Amino acid sequence: MRPARPALIGAALSLALVAGGCASSSGSDAKASASAASAASAASRTALDKVLIKGTAAAPTLDLPSKPLTVSETTTKLVTRGTGAMLTDKLALTVNYLIVNGKDGKQIESSFGKAKAGLDLADGKLLPGLRKGLLGQQVGSRVLVAVPPKEAFGDAGNSQIGVGATDTVLFLVDIVTATTPLTSAQGDPVAPKAGLPTVVPGKDPKTPAKITVPKADPPKALVVQPLVNGKGAKVVAGQTLRVAYTGVIWKDGRQFDSSATTANGWAQFPIGVGQVIKGWDKALVGRPVGSRLLLVVPPGDGYGSAGQPNAGITGTDTLVFVVDLLAAS
């Protein structure tokens, strides 16, 4: 596992929110007549209207009087209208959510009463139906979204969470906040201390930063050197953090990883909860969004004595990163 590409679970994207493969639809769906599509839409709305929201606002449950509940297309019911900004596919969200299997009404997962979750509407891993159901809603809203298999986990289903190939999945989502992530660090430049690696930022998100390591022994302890002091909110443990980063090995300056090589040009993960290397959890929590940080990470705060053989990192390697903090939700 590389330092900024963990499995997106826990307080970030759970297994129930990400697509394990490409959901597929048949050619007959695309050729359906307008009248058949209208009938399917009406049937889906009727099915969703039968779902009862029980419990309390802080600990809701869903009751399905008739099972299984199935829809043929993603269907959204506005439970409570918010007054905030309208959601677009450029936003990173903080939400509370409850997930139920439409087949039997069993709860799959809930963030209510726990840490709020971060959802990024630009993230290609997000279930297509969930994204569709949230787009156009307003911050502060509570929405109920029913997602058919073709816009959830496709023909494979998701055996890890007990969702079969024909199961509709229900989401009750409270949209708490929405922010527009940065594309690069923004703030006040900081002159780094002498003797540290030097950094030339990439010209765009798809270009890795250039890090030049001095011909000297590496520091023994973790170094966190701001290069730009951001002006956003400080990162809190448990948040989902979006970053742009490049990493090299001190001993030879070889780049072993960069978010610039990803489809989006950035990576995201839960921070401060043990989902990334210790040096990142220590260095990034408490820093303001918009910051650019130079990190020198000794083995004990990196991959330890085991190293990371897949990336060519040994148990004695010190790592160097430049990290832009783009969003926290």
pLDDT digits (tens, 9 = 90+) for 211-240: 999 999 999 999 999 999 999 999 999 888
Q: Where are the beta strands (DSSP E) in 169-318?
A: 169-179, 187-189, 198-200, 210-212, 223-230, 240-249, 255-258, 267-270, 292-297
CB neighbour burial string for 274-309, b if at least 16 within 10 angstroms, e if fewer: ebbbbbbbebbbebbbbbbbbbbbbbebbbeeebbe
Taking a C-beta distance cutoff of 8 angstroms, is the pair 271, 280 a contact? yes
How confident is the model at residue 47, as a pLDDT? 87
Q: Which residues contact 299 (CB under 8 A, 6 or more apart)?
A: 305, 307, 315, 316, 317, 318
Question: Which neighbouring-strand residues pair with 269?
Answer: 241
Alpha carbons 16 and 108: distance in angstroms, whole number: 8
What are 301-317's pLDDT values in tens digits?
A: 999 999 999 999 999 99
- pTM recorded for the entire structure: 0.72
What are 14-53's pLDDT values in tens digits?
A: 667 777 644 443 344 444 444 445 665 888 888 899 999 9
pLDDT at position 178 over 90 = yes
